[in-house]
Amino acid sequence: MVWLGINLYLFIDTFQWYEKEDAYLYTRVMLHSTLAWARASAMCLNFNCMLILLPVSRNFISFLRRSNICCRRTLKIQLDKSLMFHKATAYMIVLLTIIHIVAHLINTERYNLGHSKEAGELQNKLSCIGRNPNESYLNPIRNYKTDTTKEILSTVAGVTGFVITLVLVLIMTSSTELIRKSFYELFWYLHHLSIIFITGLLIHGVGQMVQSQTPQSLLLHNVTYCKDYYNEWGEMEQCPMPEFSGKKPVTWKWILGPMVLYMGEKIIRFCRSQQEVIITKVVAHSSGVLELQMRKRGFKMQPGQYIFLQCPLVSQLEWHPFTLTSAPEEEFFSVHVRVVGDWTEALFKAYIPEENVFQEAWKLPRLAVDGPFGTTTTEVFHYQVSVCIAAGIGVTPFASLLKSIWYKCCDPDTELKLQKVYFYWICRDTCAFEWFADLLLSLEAQMAEKGRVHFLSFHLFLTKWDESQAMHFAINYDIKLDVITGLRQKTFYGRPNWDNEFKQIADNHPSSNIGVFFCGPQALSKILHKMCASYSSINPKGVYFHYNKENF
């Protein structure tokens, strides 16, 4: 709302200024209100182009998350939505670009018509100013029969405007969900055209196409009085010929700071990419998941954080985010990579050759690591009751969290504010449970040994099975341990009834602030968000569900 408010204020304030300012009176005679539309949209474009780089400056976001500025939960939630804000700012840039382009196309036609008889005597007079060399002019189009398209593309503003518009179209179309999921590499590479976009933006205003009356001319040529005596300009002492000049570009003032910050981010990433990463273990799970265990000097993490990985053997430029699945208490850090695209498939083949030949650690392809970076999941320990919900490979941030809980419960000196954890995991097939089952078994046994059986509640849901599996489940239903996971808590078949689940949790903890953490598809996220709102009490002393979604 603050961002929208600033945009609205800047647009209205700039619009009014260009509609009323005396220096632009003669420009308004030529262009009418489209001058104000073009300049107001340009002002808001400067503001949004300043902001667009900040949400993707991950080290800056991590710094804010750790600082005292963001100690309040409300501010931290905004940081968790940094990518959403990045997208919203991009959509705003598209809208403002359309307004700016349409306004200037109309301006170009009006400049061209300024030489025609239909335009009026004052417009003709203004268009004729500056016919002699080294004289200032108001109308950049010097003849009526000028081809306006060629005229636009022969100017700095026209060429840069065309280039940055083309780049913007490419970036936006490649950022759609369909392209991003199916052709991630295309999205990744085209997004780096933003360098051309920013460069073009900086150069765009250098041409100074829109002219205004100079301050010295305004002192000698009073527009309020002289506009009615345009036939006598240069002959009357009170009304000398007006002089015009372009406004100096100011875009660099808006985006210089974020550019320096973003360049700092890139330098940090480059420095980190040069640091040695030792791969200690590689595991191929049957569910198409590659586990990589690594060590790196000075690497410190928190549960739920994520890193960016680059494998130069696969691609020299691409970095991909992966949630850490290890706990801070372990001597290594690990990620679980599911094969879902070209890059992940190439990574899998690089570390697990088809012939299954053993490879010594020093012969493995080199990895570069950037991070770790904070996410909303790191807030789990700040609630007395936390509900962790994962879908498919979205379980990875909770692997780190559950491991950390296990270590903290083993340490008698650690006091936990967290008193109860509900863990939901929804999977399509039994293979997906494989790599995570050992951790859940260890946790369940540890909690039983410590007398804290009720501390951690598992709710595992299997959504897809065949006839033979169904028969096997039915025959072994009465066995004490679950036939899929080996846990005491049985696997459910089908999808959870979220109304029943949230109602039960609300009844169990009537006066609590409950943190709900989710990692998975957007469709389920919307349902859970609604559930949190539905089952939160209006009474301040009642139960309240705080919804948090993993974004990276």
Distances (CA, A) of 456 to 157, 189, 246, 342, 387: 62, 43, 68, 37, 10
Q: Are residues 130 and 144 in the same domain?
A: yes
Its domain, for residue 352, covers 275-373
Length of the chain: 552
Looking at 342, 373, 404, which one is the last position of a domain?
A: 373
Q: Are residues 345 and 411 in the same domain?
A: no
Q: Are residues 302 and 419 in the same domain?
A: no
Looking at 309, 340, 373, which one is the last position of a domain?
A: 373
The CA distance from 194 to 205, in Å, is 18
Q: Are residues 429 and 416 in the same domain?
A: yes
Count of domains for the chain:
3
Any idea what the CATH number is for the domain that residue 288 is in? Answer: 2.40.30.10
Distances (CA, A) of 201 to 47, 56, 247, 252: 12, 19, 15, 9
What is the phi-psi region of residue 376: left when phi exceeds 0, alpha when psi lies from -120 to 50, beta otherwise?
alpha
Give me the pLDDT at residue 10, please: 96
Give me the pLDDT at residue 91, please: 94
- End-to-end CA distance of the chain: give it in Å, rounded: 23
For 324, which DSSP code? B
Cis peptide before 140 (omega within 30 of 0): no
315 lies in some domain: yes
Distances (CA, A) of 474 to 343, 432, 517: 40, 20, 32
Task: Pull the structure tokens for residue 495.
Answer: 């999808």
Pairing of strands 320-323, 278-285: unpaired
Residues 6+ apart with CB under 8 A from 129: 135, 136, 137, 138, 139, 241, 242, 244
- Give the angle subtended at the CA of 91 by the CAs of 151 and 518, to the nearest 5°: 160
pLDDT tens readout for residues 324-335: 888 888 888 988
Give me the pLDDT at residue 265, please: 86
Helix axes 156-174, 194-204, angle to 10 degrees: 150
Q: Are residues 96 and 135 in the same domain?
A: yes
Q: Which helix (H) or strand (E) holds 413?
A: none
455 lies in some domain: yes
Give me the pLDDT at residue 282, please: 86
Any idea what the CATH number is for the domain that residue 486 is in? Answer: 3.40.50.80
435 lies in some domain: yes
Give me the pLDDT at residue 112, please: 82
Task: Give pLDDT tens digits along the chain (552 positions).
Answer: 899 999 999 999 999 999 999 888 888 888 889 999 999 999 999 999 999 988 888 888 877 777 655 556 667 677 777 888 999 999 999 999 999 999 999 988 888 887 777 778 888 888 888 777 677 888 887 666 667 777 777 788 889 999 999 999 999 999 888 888 777 778 888 888 888 999 999 898 887 778 888 888 888 888 888 888 878 887 787 888 888 888 888 888 998 888 998 888 888 888 888 888 888 888 887 667 888 889 998 888 888 888 889 888 888 878 888 888 888 888 889 888 888 778 888 888 888 876 656 666 667 888 999 888 877 777 788 888 889 888 877 777 787 888 887 777 766 677 777 888 888 888 776 665 666 666 677 776 766 776 666 777 878 888 766 555 555 455 555 565 554 555 556 667 778 889 998 898 888 888 888 888 888 888 888 899 999 988 888 777 788 888 888 765
Give me the pLDDT at residue 96, please: 95
Q: Are residues 318 and 368 in the same domain?
A: yes
Task: Pull the structure tokens for residue 408.
Answer: 């903290």
Residues 6+ apart with CB under 8 A from 287: 338, 429, 431, 432, 434, 435
Count of other CB atoms within 10 angstroms of residue 533: 10
The CA distance from 460 to 493, in Å, is 9
The helix/strand/coil state of 184 is helix
Give me the pLDDT at residue 343, please: 84
Q: Are residues 351 and 398 in the same domain?
A: no
Residue type, 158: G
Give me the pLDDT at residue 481, please: 55
Looking at 231, 265, 299, which one is the last position of a domain?
A: 265
Give me the pLDDT at residue 169, please: 94
User: pTM value?
Assistant: 0.78
pLDDT tens readout for residues 266-318: 888 888 888 888 888 888 876 678 888 899 988 888 888 888 898 888 888 78
Distances (CA, A) of 357 to 121, 284, 311, 336, 350: 87, 13, 20, 21, 12
Q: Are residues 143 and 118 in the same domain?
A: yes
Least Cα distance to 406 among 329, 332, 482 occurs for 329
165 lies in some domain: no
Q: Are residues 43 and 123 in the same domain?
A: yes
Which residue shows structure tokens 């636009």? Answer: 152
Count of other CB atoms within 10 angstroms of residue 206: 14
Task: Pull the structure tokens for residue 158.
Answer: 């026209």
